[in-house]
Structure 1
Amino acid sequence: MASTEQDPLLLLRQSIASGGAITPTASSDVSAQEVPLSQATHLTFSTPSHISLPIDTQTRFTSNDTPVDLRSIYIAWLKREVAIPEYNASVSKLNEELGDKGQVRMLAFVERLDLITWLEGASEECEYIKPLAGDKDGSTSTAAAALASKGAAAPAIGAKLGRSGKGTLDPRLAVIYNSERKMGDRNSVLRGIKPTDFSHVRKLAAPFMSKKSQQAPPTSISNNPALATHKKPRRPDPIILLSPSASSLLRMTNIKSFLENGQYVPPNSLSASSSTGASMLHINRLMKDIDPNRPMRFILVEGPEQFKPEYWNRVVAVFTTGQSWQFKNYKWSNPSELFRHVPGIYVGWRNEKPPESVRNWGHRVVSIGIDPWKESTHNTIDSSRWRDHEIVEHIWKVIEGNMRSKGWRRDQAPTSI
């Protein structure tokens, strides 16, 4: 065991605190050149004065009640920032290089952590370091460590530590040191002297976390007012209902060509066959009095079988043939009540009168006549159907006027009609 005057642990800690050089050398000469650790026989400290100690000197640090040599302590300090596997690999490599010259003690994780914390000055106690001989309470090591941790010059090796001249700390000075406030660093605050296992806290918190997750609603824009203000709700698409009657002049097969292009073709013609079998169509129309900047998309369906209750507030027109069975599954099955909420549109031939039922429903059902269809010899659209475009514009005017009166705006739709 090293003497009190040349304790390797105190020398190492004091040199670290003061930033002094710690050099492995191949001789006891303090001016010797640095050599690789595998070839070193001594460790030279530049502060407080040049001192060289044999590198295999046993220290007061113990592992499994066995003293650990200075070389093992020094390499543990050199590898303080690396992970455990890298530290173990470095020790194994050094042992191979040393051969029969000696062996480096591989410290356990807790031992290495406790040693590094003490050497850095973050802790004044280390359970693996035995007190100095003749100083069982550890006051001598504490005094020297306190000086070293402050970066001040510790008492010279061999000099008296106190005024009593007996090699022990003066009692009055000990009182002063005991009254000092110990300042910790990140190591003592975050890690402490020993690693603490908080895994038991997870088990205690599990019931509270599961209960909170069941009660707390999912975070979304819909239930978070702070987020909802940054995203405007999307305006729903208006809906137009068509008549499913086989006698209707406008069906799913030809309604898109009629309302978008202003051209009428019979529902069973070759020109209309591309839309056969569709249960829903989309058409775009610019409603200048509602939104002059972007076209509105309209949804066209023949029946309300897939409707949700709120969909009825989006219905803007009902095409009818005058047959009341069409309204059997509607929200308002009575035609008179239906057309108080939604405008009706009857499209027939120009040279024929509307059915009596349409005339009885009053002005809320607009009757429109189109020119009779004439078959072309070359399966082309009749060039004389220029009136179709005028009729389509009239239909859209009726729909747009109703939408404005019901509350359709550029960025919103009515909540009821």
Structure 2
Amino acid sequence: MASPTTDPLLLFRQSIRTSSRIVPVASAESNDEVALSQATNLVFSDEGKRVVLPVDVQSRFMSSEGNLIDLRSIYFAWVNRDITIPEYNAAAEKLNEELAGGKGVHKFPFVERLNLIAWLEGAGEDTEYIKPLVGGDAGKGEEGGKVEMVGDDGGVKKERRGKGTLDPRLAQIYEGERRMGDRNSVLRGIKPTDFSHIRKLAAQFMTRKPTGGSGDIRSSTNISNNPSLALNQKPARRPDPIILLSPSASSLLRMSNAKAFLEGGRYTPPDHSTPPTMLAVSRIIKDMDPNRPIRFILVEGPENFRPEYWNRVVAVFTTGQTWQFKSYKWTNPVELFKHVQGVYLGWRGEQPPESVRAFGHKVLACSVEKWRDPGQPGAEQSRWRDREVVESIWKAIETNMRAKGWRKDAAPTSI
């Protein structure tokens, strides 16, 4: 069993450092591993000794809401350290449903979880979420310099090993000490924040100053006439519009054949090789820029999107499967296609799925001739219609772009 001075967090960290197993068990006397939902204790191996701690014992880790986190939540976060935040939250909800008696694991926000895992792996000694051990040197907690235990009443019992005891007045000063956070918590708070828009505001202050030479008369004149214009400032570059393809395996248009179809006007079936994560296709839109083609970026998912990227999306290809939109800004397809042009590509002679028709009139349903082996007689004679289908798709996209405010040198700030 655990000694009165055993600190759960230090014991957990020591077990990770020595690669010792941490086993959830159904009782303090058992050594058989069980599911966390059925466990009442955790068994540690501390220098060859068997140490047992209850899963509901509180640790020194304090959440941003001011609550001490139990050992069950710490163990659950550690064993699920390699999964994404959505997967972690889903697993936590499932475990909470399995736990009886109103018990449940704490769902760590991103920054809390990051700090906990880094501390357990030994990446650092200081974190704003872990209450310090009182007395002695803070960095020697694992060597037995000081111990902080959580009592049954939620209070903190302070003890000190070695010579002497901690002065009560000094302990009171430590309790009133304000812990300084790291750069993530100070700059970003609980959730990560995107500061990319600050670059646009700072751009006008970061351009080169005039050299003051006598030969730079034109630049000096421009600045004197309009001081707000920066010297040699280049016109703002219009961002590339984005087209989202369907990641479904049943989609007729994938990353492997989209460029040949949208740029070359010829349909070929997608292959099974590893596709690129991003493609670029070019198209001349005479109403916007008759002299220079516009580059369109093709991707299959918005996983790497910044919030402002959604203003650049001009078309979404769909097969009618609603799971495609789970990670989109608008998860409801009817709402999505109020903002973005939709495109469904199917085989000629087959009706679009009922779900596509339910999405609304902003989804263009197109059909291409069914693919036949080029070695068969007459296989190439029907492929001339592919370009006609491609032109109808581009026409719908261009019409939507003009309506949303796309211009030669500007893109819409909101769609």
Q: Report the TM-score, using the length of structure 1 for normalisation.
A: 0.45
User: Comparing both structures, which one devotes a greater share of its residues to helix?
Assistant: 1
TM-score (norm 2): 0.45
Q: Which one has the largest radius of gyration? A: 1
